[in-house]
A and B are shown apart, each in its own frame.
Chain A
């Protein structure tokens, strides 16, 4: 179980970082999604792995329970990363449609010279 989860986090992170280093926006966004999956699985494990245990205390008897806080954190992280992915997809679409170009890097003259006044 531990080995499975650890390798899953590792593989997802590695694949995510590889994709983020690509030159077009689509793989980069996929890479960001993979990274957020990795971090969600990682956060889940920070409360220690427990099988078949409820995330609530039982006040009538002593039973095993799993830490509920990481689950709440993961839920927050999922919501935030989902929203952020939606935002970056929209911005990337805007960039693609306005410049007819899907590249994530900028040409030299884009960054230095004309931009702020030109597109105002």
Chain B
């Protein structure tokens, strides 16, 4: 067995308690270990990607229990890419959090951060549905701590709402898993696929209920309308570097949809035929539309980026819901792009918030305005999907893949119109924040209504080099994604091919022990 597969889970799982117990009072050492761990994770993820690139699906049996009885971790091209994406985003975020001093504003930032990475990597690697639930809980419980990092009454309130919503989602997850187990008698994803395919077609109402419940759970995670209500408040009130890391969490939902509904309830399975796609496509279209309108309608830059994240999930899930290899390849490319772009925008939003409070009303000038405006411009181009950056390539691929779909007019119309609204919204915010800023004292009397909540800005960050290197790292990632769109697209096509031939996956898992 290849022990590298479990390394992305074990490394943060050991590092986090070590930081809590040994380095509790030494922030500098915490930082060193946290960065070293994240760099190590990038290295492991690169190794795994190289191993998975050949197309062989590798299985890691925990405790050496053979597949349907024990828990397995499965490494294929898709999970390797998602782990790599997680680790790269995490590296940028941890550097930014150190540079901006966010990790000093509350306790235990770095251990929670590592636990979060453990949960995300585990969710991407596991091949067992109940284990997926457990890793969801791991990443959620770490995210609860990260979300309220730094404290404050409003953030705590948003935290309560966020936790409540996600606990409801977890309960629903358990109901879905229980229903599936009662019908099929298994929770291993590959075994589930075999059992579902063998079920008689008459008596399948319960199985379909389970499949739809599971879809709902993943839609909550992916913030699909009408289950997106948790996202705007929690992302905009979380510390911005944490929100940047959360950009990968919505992708966990999209990944789970893709995994379960190509493997167990795939397009070829008669019982659940069209179940996911028929529901998901309209929901994804509305998600994209509402996300775009939200960008135009908000008064705060953090909330605007949160709505941009919702819109990008809409585009991603439109491609996912088509369930064709071409559309899935486009979806995966877009997933990589939108994770980096949303992460970048959240970090830029933090740069703005630290300097002038983040309200989109053009009141206060800020230091380093030119540099940040340029970065905002780059991020906005990427997020809105304008040429020349990778968002344009991604949207083009999604639209190209939708050409053969039945209702391609609706898909094209929604994508194009919402892109336009997004561009208008981002341009409005950018010009108000960066161009119309003038000293508030010369402008008008202080608003008596808002007088009592004057924004007390924290002192400027001690290590701007780190913050900007993190931001420029993400920009470089986006540029790289654009330049190497061709090879990457070939790679995502090979991933999609792997996803739509689930027999290889099933064989690898269920016969893994015999080889």
Chain A interface residues toward B at CB < 8 A: 20, 25, 28, 32, 35-36, 38-39, 42-43, 45-48, 69-70, 73, 76-77, 80-81, 83-84, 87-88, 91-92, 94-95, 98-99, 104, 106, 110-120
Contact = CB atoms under 8 A, between A and B. Distances in A.
Contacts of B239: 120
A115 B152 contact: yes
B277 interface: no
B160 A119 contact: no
A115 B237 contact: yes
Contacts of A110: 154, 157
Contacts of B208: none
Contact of A112 (B130, B156, B164, B303): B303
A71 to B, nearest CB: 12
B11 interface: no
Given A20-B168, A91-B163, A43 B174 contact: yes
B134 interface: yes
B153 A20 contact: no
B164 A95 contact: no
Contact of A114 (B163, B298, B455): B455
Contacts of B357: 114, 117
Contacts of B171: 32, 35-36, 38-39
27 contacts: A36-B167, A38-B171, A45-B178, A45-B182, A73-B181, A77-B174, A84-B141, A84-B170, A87-B163, A88-B160, A88-B167, A91-B159, A91-B160, A94-B156, A94-B159, A95-B159, A104-B157, A106-B154, A111-B236, A112-B300, A112-B303, A113-B300, A115-B236, A117-B353, A117-B354, A117-B357, A118-B456
Interface string B343-383: 00000000001100111000000000000000000000000
Contacts of A80: 134, 137, 170
Interface string B230-270: 00110011011000000000000000000000000000000
A95 B178 contact: no
Nearest to A44: B178
B456 A92 contact: no
A119 B155 contact: yes
Nearest to A85: B167
B359 A69 contact: no
A94 B152 CA distance: 9
B144 A91 contact: yes
Contact of B167 (A38, A43, A47, A84): A84
B132 to A, nearest CB: 13
A80 B105 CA distance: 28
B299 interface: yes
A100 B395 CA distance: 47
Contacts of A87: 141, 144, 163
Contacts of A39: 171, 174-175, 178
A120 to B, nearest CB: 6
B453 A116 contact: no
B163 A119 contact: no
A77 B175 CA distance: 11
A46 B275 CA distance: 23
B308 interface: no
A110 B160 CA distance: 14
Given A76-B134, A92-B160, A114-B453, A98 B151 contact: yes
A104 B163 CA distance: 11
Contact of A116 (B160, B161, B236, B299): B236
A2 B111 CA distance: 45
B457 interface: yes
B237 A116 contact: yes
Contacts of A95: 153, 156-157, 159-160
Contacts of A99: 153-154, 156-157
Interface residues of B, number: 55
B389 interface: no
A36 B167 CA distance: 9
Contact of B455 (A35, A45, A88, A118): A118
B302 interface: yes
B446 interface: no
Nearest to A100: B153
A118 B300 CA distance: 13
B148 interface: yes
A106 B167 contact: no
Contacts of B153: 95, 98-99, 119
Q: Top 7 nearest A-B pairs by Cβ distance?
A: A119-B152, A99-B153, A95-B156, A46-B182, A115-B154, A98-B153, A46-B178
A5 B336 CA distance: 46
B308 to A, nearest CB: 16
Interface in B445-482: 450, 453, 455-458
A119 B167 contact: no
A17 to B, nearest CB: 9
Interface string B126-154: 00001000100100010010001011111
B78 interface: no
Contacts of A117: 353-354, 357-358, 455, 457
B211 interface: no
Nearest to B456: A118
A46 B181 contact: yes
B444 to A, nearest CB: 17
Contacts of B457: 117
A120 B161 contact: no
Contacts of A43: 174, 177-178
B164 A84 contact: no
A108 to B, nearest CB: 11
